[in-house]
Amino acid sequence: MSHRVTLIPGDGIGPEVTNAARIVADATGVPIEWEVVEAGEKVMAKEGTPLPSRVLESLRKNRVGLKGPITTPIGSGFRSVNVALRQELDLYASLRPARAIAGEGTRYPDVNLVVVREATEGLYSGVEHWVDRDHSAGESINIITRKASERICRFAFDYATKNGRKKVTAVHKANIMKVTGGLFQEVFRTVAKGYPAITSEERLIDNMCMQLVKKPEEYDVLVTTNLFGDILSDLCAGLSGGLGVAPGALLGDSMALFEPVHGSAPKYAGQDKADPVAEILCLELLLRHLGYKEEAEKVFRAVWETIYEKKVVTYDLALPGYTNWPTKPSTCSAMAKEIARKVNDVDLDAPLKRRDWTSGAAPAAGLANDKALEA
Ligand code: NAD
């Protein structure tokens, strides 16, 4: 039986990276029938809406989807399609794993944490207005409910339990935002009591950012509200190798939509230059969701080996100073084909090779090497 999966190519680099994921999906042999539906800027220009009802209908019917990034105009213009999708379909849990792959492109080869972000309310509820006629003051409403806080905290603890993770850290700002942050904190503490086998702790958002940059290996699962989760997941993407390698999943009670953390990177659109790994790792998560564990593991290992070998990698992974630095960065499509070629050759029992350049071959950069700072 083949699986019908909704595919939203999206804007900017979206069509290129989703096409890359399809190339790898074909190599796995998993029978997937893609139902392609367009959303975003181009549809807006043609149909006057960036999110036609057929997109929501397709996702409601298929219950699983793969999505490329969608542009949101800054300051004015149409409302975020991404936020609308999450709210309309009640995709309340945004799961964003940050794993350092092969020790490449990161200063933190041991990073392996997961950000669980509440995706339907908070400061992204879209409730904002001008306070006066002159537009000299604005107000955004931060909606935090007991119901949404409880289900996201429960989701984080259930995820930790099912995936052998040991600790859940709640991130909030309850010292300043005593009502909204305080409610989230209270609910987290109550939910945590039901999971005695999992360690629970809390951090204020500002301290969390500092702790993550200093010692990310001490964190496991982070659970937080919408805006803090958006910012933390980009920070964690940076820890694990950059936006080009950071996948994500949006999960509801009976629906799953997989999308990378990165945006539509308009400056690289149409150049076959973007890193396809984030979208390919979304495919890995999608295959796990459909129950194809072995195929998912093969995709992950094929990505890992391609990055470890560093012969066919895109510009963001081909940084000067690393060992095996390729002289010429590869294209998005060439990297996808290389990963696809490896999918059926990977040895599922072999140990994953890792380059820990922090112990020697690090790029010569940073304040310690900055001659301008010498007296
Ligand atoms: P962005 O993620 O598009 O780009 C940030 C930086 O990362 C840029 O330097 C970009 O070139 C680089 N980058 C991103 N993805 C990459 C990849 N796959 N390979 C190599 N480099 C990559 O963020 P932005 O510039 O803030 O946003 C651009 C647009 O994307 C905006 O309209 C924003 O609203 C939208 N956006 C959409 C989503 C989504 O659809 N879920 C998420 C974030 C941003």
Band (pLDDT 50/70/90 cuts) for residue 105 is: confident
Domain spans in the chain, listed from the N-terminal domain onward? 1-108+240-375, 112-224
Q: Determine whether domain 1-108+240-375 maps to CATH 3.30.70.1450.
A: no
To the query of whether residue 173 is one of the catalytic residues in this protein, the response is: yes
Nearest to 164 by CA among 92, 112, 87: 112
- Nearest 5°: the CA angle 38, 44, 45 is 115
Work out the mean pLDDT of the chain and round it to a whole number: 91
Indicate which atom in ligand 1 lies nearest the CA of residue 10. Answer: 40
Query: 339: exposed, middle or buried (C-beta count within 10 Å: 0-12, 13-18, 19+)?
Result: buried
3-state SS, residue 132 = coil
Of 197 and 124, which is predicted with more confidence?
A: 197
The pLDDT value given to residue 346? 93
Q: How far apart are CA 187 and CA 164, in angstroms?
A: 23
> Identical fold at 1-108+240-375 and 112-224?
no
How far apart (Å, rounded) are the C-alpha atoms in residues 18 and 292? 19
The CATH T-level fold of domain 112-224 is Rossmann fold (3.40.50)
pLDDT band at 363 (very low <50, low <70, confident <90, very high): very low
Say whether pTM exceeds 0.85. yes
Q: Which of 124, 159, 219, 308 is catalytic?
A: 124
d(CA 66, CA 6): 6
94 CB less than 6 Å from ligand 1? no
Residue pLDDT, tens place only, 280-337: 999 999 999 999 999 999 999 999 999 988 889 999 887 665 556 666 889 999 999 9
Instruction: Outline where the chain has alpha helix (H).
Output: 14-28, 41-47, 53-62, 81-88, 146-162, 180-192, 205-214, 226-240, 277-290, 293-309, 332-343
Tell me: pLDDT of 162 over 80.
yes
For the CA of 234, the closest atom of ligand 1 is 2
For the Cβ of 81 lying below 6 angstroms from any atom of ligand 1, the answer is: no
Q: Of 219, 230, 310, 337, which one is the catalytic site residue?
A: 230
State in Å: Cα 162 to ligand 1 middle: 31
124 is catalytic: yes
206 is catalytic: yes
Q: Is 263 in the pocket of ligand 1 (CB under 6 A)?
A: yes
Q: Is 264's C-beta closer than 6 angstroms to any atom of ligand 1?
A: yes
pLDDT at 70: 96
Each residue of 224-274: pLDDT tens digit?
999 999 999 999 999 998 999 999 999 999 999 999 999 999 999 999 999
Selecting among 26, 178, 206, 345, the annotated active-site residue is: 206
Report residue 142 as tokens: 């931060």
CA 137 to chain centre: 33
Q: Is 11 among the residues known to form the active site?
A: no
Instruction: Give dist(CA 195, CA 193) in Å, integer.
Output: 5
Model confidence at 108: pLDDT above 90: no
At residue 369 the predicted structure's pLDDT band, cuts being 50, 70 and 90, is very low
How far is Cα 30 from Cα 32, in angstroms, rounded to an integer?
A: 6
| Predicted local distance difference test score (pLDDT) of residue 293 | 94
